Amino acid sequence: DWTASSIVGDQVSRIRAQVGDRRVICGLSGGVDSAVAAALVQRAVGDQLTCVFVDHGLLRKGEAEQVKHDFVDSTGADLVVADESDRFLTALAGVSDPEQKRKIIGREFIRAFEEEARALNDGQPIDFLVQGTLYPDVVESGGGDGAANIKSHHNVGGLPEDLQFSLVEPLRNLFKDEVRAVGLELGLPEDIVWRQPFPGPGLAIRIIGEVTRDRLDVLREADAIAREELGAAGLNRKIWQCPVVLLADVHSVGVQGDGRTYGSPIVLRPVTSEDAMTADWSRVPYDVLEKISTRITNTCPQINRVAIDVTSKPPATIEWE
């Protein structure tokens, strides 16, 4: 039996015992887990914690601002922002292969984080790294020994010799619903606490084809519209997640305003799921789909078709890449 406030009290004293008066660093991704883990450590040791947010420029509309403003306002945490969108776009130039995109983003992410950590390490060295590892992650990886091994690219592993950290993992015994309750207890905004799963490589794996700034802008706009309408229809917690995918290299003929267009399609991929291992396509009401479709084609002149993906997982995956 647990309550959010008893978990907070318990973890705060554990963190204090582990960390003492030493310094801690935490990478924020925009997701729930890293935000809650950081907020817990902040509650426990205050300004001994420095959070680092590597903005890869692949987040959705408003998400970077959410980290920079809402997270900081609600926790009082010290945040260093590395605005690295140019670096990631340059590294991704000319790349269409999904696994290649993931590799590049993972590599650049670790490099950028390292650079920030090294700069911070200049004064009193940092001994601890916070990880938002959850209980299901621990079980999945066979118990886990606390070594900094990479699960997704947000987990910083394989750091160089001069950057060795001990791990602080305050969510290690918690399930997702407990993490959310703890986040609310700590005063994090609902938009952060109830954020749907979003892949580390971000919008880069939702542009089928090469990632460019213009394509990101179009997709970011279409995604924001879909999220807004699904939210307005009260479907946020019913739907597990809804990838919005830009088929950037596909062109079809349309008619918009005065003439023929040759634009790209956007695919909506709303799914229901328990754990992302399997998924079903969501039966989103037609009137909601209509609003999304109309708004996207009205707002984005590059888009002349909106399609919906009605495939379960398996055989399809949730993401298109």
Residue 313 contacts ligand XMP per CB under 6 A = yes
- Is 6 marked within a binding site? no
Residue 309 contacts ligand XMP per CB under 6 A = no
Map residues 113-142 to x or -, x wherever contact with ligand XMP holds by CB under 6 A: ------------------------------
6-12 contact pairs (CB < 8 A, 24+): 7/174, 7/178, 7/181, 7/182, 7/185, 8/40, 8/43, 8/182, 8/185, 8/186, 11/40, 11/44, 11/170, 11/182, 12/40, 12/43, 12/44
Map residues 48-87 to x or -, x wherever contact with ligand XMP holds by CB under 6 A: ----------------------------------------
Interacting span for ligand XMP (CB under 6 A) from 127-135, 165-173, 192-200, 290-298: 192-200
Question: Of 229-258, which residues contact ligand XMP (CB under 6 A)?
Answer: 241
Interacting span for ligand XMP (CB under 6 A) from 9-17, 120-128, 197-205, 226-234: 197-205
- Is 76 marked within a binding site? no
Distance of CA 43 to the CA centre of its chain: 23
In this structure, the strands spanning 166-168 and 23-28 are: unpaired
In this structure, the strands spanning 49-55 and 259-268 are: unpaired
Q: Which is nearer to ligand XMP, 199 or 270 (CB)?
A: 199
From the list 214, 247, 195, the residue with the least C-alpha distance to 57 is 214
Residue 318 contacts ligand XMP per CB under 6 A = yes
Residue 193 contacts ligand XMP per CB under 6 A = no
Among 132, 201, 263, 265, binds ligand XMP (CB under 6 A): 201
Map residues 88-117 to x or -, x wherever contact with ligand XMP holds by CB under 6 A: --------------x---------------
- Is 35 marked within a binding site? yes
Map residues 151-170 to x or -, x wherever contact with ligand XMP holds by CB under 6 A: -x------------------
Interacting span for ligand XMP (CB under 6 A) from 48-56, 178-186, 295-303, 310-318: 310-318
Give the shortest CB-220-to-ligand XMP separation in angstroms.
Answer: 17
CA contacts within 13 A on the Cβ side of 195: 24
- Is 275 marked within a binding site? no
DSSP at 278: S
Nearest-angstrom CA–CA distance, 98 and 321: 6
Give the shortest CB-43-to-ligand XMP separation in angstroms.
Answer: 26
Nearest-angstrom CA–CA distance, 258 and 235: 36
Contact 35, 71 (CB under 8 A): yes
- Length, in residues, of the chain: 321
Among 197, 231, 285, 301, binds ligand XMP (CB under 6 A): 197
Contact 198, 75 (CB under 8 A): no
Torsion sign (Cα): 300, 101, 317, 137: negative
Binding-site size, ligand XMP (CB under 6 A): 12
Sheet strands side by side (includes 166-168): 78-83, 49-55, 23-28, 126-130, 166-168
Contact 56, 88 (CB under 8 A): yes
Q: Which is nearer to ligand XMP, 16 or 313 (CB)?
A: 313
Interacting residue ranges for ligand XMP, rule: CB under 6 A: 102, 152, 197, 199-201, 241, 276, 313, 317-319
Feature table: binding site for ATP:
29-35
Feature table: binding site:
29-35
